[in-house]
Amino acid sequence: MPYVNIQITKGATRAQKAELVREVTASLVRVLGKRPEHTHVVIQEIEEEDWGYAGLLTDDWRRQQG
């Protein structure tokens, strides 16, 4: 039973999340022969201030990028 956990910063639309679930499931079916009804995909949205990147909190890093 595949379990996939996707962690992203907040902001994805419901349609984008649905596409991620479809595509990840389709890849597991195609590549590993897994059954879609046994595949679990969890999307966790994390605030940018709770995510670090390049030694900075992501919201600070984005502000620096302009």
Instruction: Quote the pLDDT of residue 55.
Output: 95
Helix or strand (DSSP H, E) at 43: strand 40-46
Residue 36 falls in the annotated catalytic set: no
pLDDT for the residue 30: 98
How many other CB atoms sit within 10 Å of the CB of residue 37? Answer: 7
Per residue in 1-60, pLDDT (tens digit) is 999 999 999 999 999 999 999 999 999 999 999 999 999 999 999 999 999 989 999 999
Q: Which of 1, 2, 16, 53 is catalytic?
A: 2
All residues at 6 or more sequence positions from 42 whose CB lies less than 8 Å from its CB, including other chains: 3, 4, 5, 6
List the domains of the chain with CATH numbers.
Answer: 3-65 (3.30.429.10)
pLDDT score, position 63 = 93
Model pLDDT, residue 66: 85
